[in-house]
Amino acid sequence: MIPSTHRQVRLAARPIGYPRESDFRLVESSVPEPGAGEFLVRAVYLSIDPYMRGRMSDARSYVPPVAIGDVMEGGVVGEVVRSNRPGFSVGDVVEGRLGWQEYAVSTGKGVRKIDPTVTPMSTALGVLGMPGLTAYFGLLEVGQPKAGETVVVSAASGAVGGLVGQIAKLRACRAVGLAGSDAKVDYLVRELGYDAGINYRATADLDAALQAACPAGIDVYFDNVGGRITEAVSRHVNLFARFAVCGLMSQYNLTEPELAPRNERFVLVNRVRIQGFIVVDFSARYKEGLAQLTEWVRQGKLKYREDVVDGLERAPGALIGLLQGRNFGKAVVRVGPEPAGSRAPAPASRGGTEG
Ligand SMILES: NC(=O)c1ccc[n+]([C@@H]2O[C@H](COP(=O)([O-])OP(=O)(O)OC[C@H]3O[C@@H](n4cnc5c(N)ncnc54)[C@H](OP(=O)(O)O)[C@@H]3O)[C@@H](O)[C@H]2O)c1
């Protein structure tokens, strides 16, 4: 039964600093009717990702922001419940940017079909979706790790970072992760196979901790956070080190840009390559990346953890929590029940919110 109305989360105000619940508005709207060539999707899981903070702001970025009053942008995996589009049938499970809402109409643009009997459908938003592809191409193509090298990862227990260290290990590197709690560091080392972990929040001397964890220096830095962690890492690099700049968690909510030391000297002396990337740079190769990630997951070589909260109304709180480091693993919101018969075997590691 498709209801006549559904819930949406719309952007109410542009945040100053960290977003607040009042920057979002939960509204009731009519469920749209799919037109010719369209289909209607019932959302099951909504992805919560750091880029959403950027979409709430009107600062210049690589894509335009969400307009005030519009439905928040977000990746969704859900079930086709009505279809006027050949190739998409009722019962198909699909993934696409369908927004923070319980139902969405699509033409199929940017939407892919998922087989939920092979892997749990939520993985299409994490290890077998955008974060997985970010870890895969960011580390292997931008970071270019070689066997025996030391790879350092920040936000190392998160959706992207948790995978980067494991892929580094699959490439016979030493993997060192920085994370924001003892529980996260314990998870990196015991569950994911990182060689060492540093709780950057509890470590008074980050230089001494990096020195101890990276006795042979740092060859690849997968940067998810920027700021003082990146500065500390830069003091321990080897000749020809590579920085794969993936994200800037420490900077997204600043109201004033942070002053940083000039970095020309460490780049010049060590011939360091610093390269930013956005996962879409590799869109022509997604198929290849997803095939490899799927194989690793099925072989048990790639573990992942999900932090699931229930109910669309909790999506704003989940994003606010993610930006403050309260998520432990890939943050997702369960918007509605999974379709019958969609359950794949349980993954090796599935977590829950910390604390
Ligand atoms: N370039 C791309 O195409 C692309 C694609 C996807 C994601 N990303 C970026 O990748 C990074 C990770 O994304 P994700 O989805 O995997 O998120 P995530 O790591 O699951 O969650 C974000 C984590 O960032 C850490 N964090 C929060 N505030 C911080 C601060 N002030 N300093 C240091 N760390 C802080 C927290 O972990 P701790 O408790 O460990 O601090 C938090 O759990 C983000 O920067 C995101 O923007 C980039």
Q: Give the separation between CA 80 and CA 112, rounded to whole angstroms.
A: 12
Q: Give the separation between CA 166 and CA 301, rounded to whole angstroms.
A: 8
User: What is the 101 CA–ligand 1 centroid distance (Å)?
Assistant: 24
pLDDT below 50 — which residues of the chain? Answer: 348-355
Please tell me the predicted confidence (pLDDT) of residue 167: 98
Q: 112-128 in b/e burial notation, b at 16+ Cβ within 10 A?
A: eebebeebbbbbbbbbb
Q: Give the separation between CA 242 and CA 224, rounded to whole angstroms.
A: 14
- 160, 221, 275: residue to mutate for ligand 1 pocket, most atoms within 8 A of CB: 160
Please tell me the predicted confidence (pLDDT) of residue 354: 41
User: What is the 179 CA–ligand 1 centroid distance (Å)?
Assistant: 10
Please tell me the predicted confidence (pLDDT) of residue 91: 97
Which residues' Cβ are closer than 6 Å to ligand 1?
49-51, 130-131, 134, 155, 157-161, 179-181, 184, 224-225, 246-250, 277-279, 322, 325, 327
User: What is the 155 CA–ligand 1 centroid distance (Å)?
Assistant: 5
Using a cut of 0.85, tell me whether the model's pTM lies above it.
yes
What percent of the chain is modeled with pLDDT above 70?
96
Please tell me the predicted confidence (pLDDT) of residue 352: 46
Which stretches within 38-96 are classed as H helix? 51-55
Amino acid at 51: Y
Please tell me the predicted confidence (pLDDT) of residue 345: 59
E strands, 146-269, where? 150-153, 174-179, 196-199, 218-223, 237-245
Q: pLDDT by residue (tens digit) across 40-77?
A: 999 999 999 999 999 999 988 888 899 999 999 999 99
Please tell me the predicted confidence (pLDDT) of residue 258: 87
Q: 2-36 in b/e burial notation, b at 16+ Cβ within 10 A?
A: eeeebbbbbbbeebeeebeeebbbeeeeebeebee
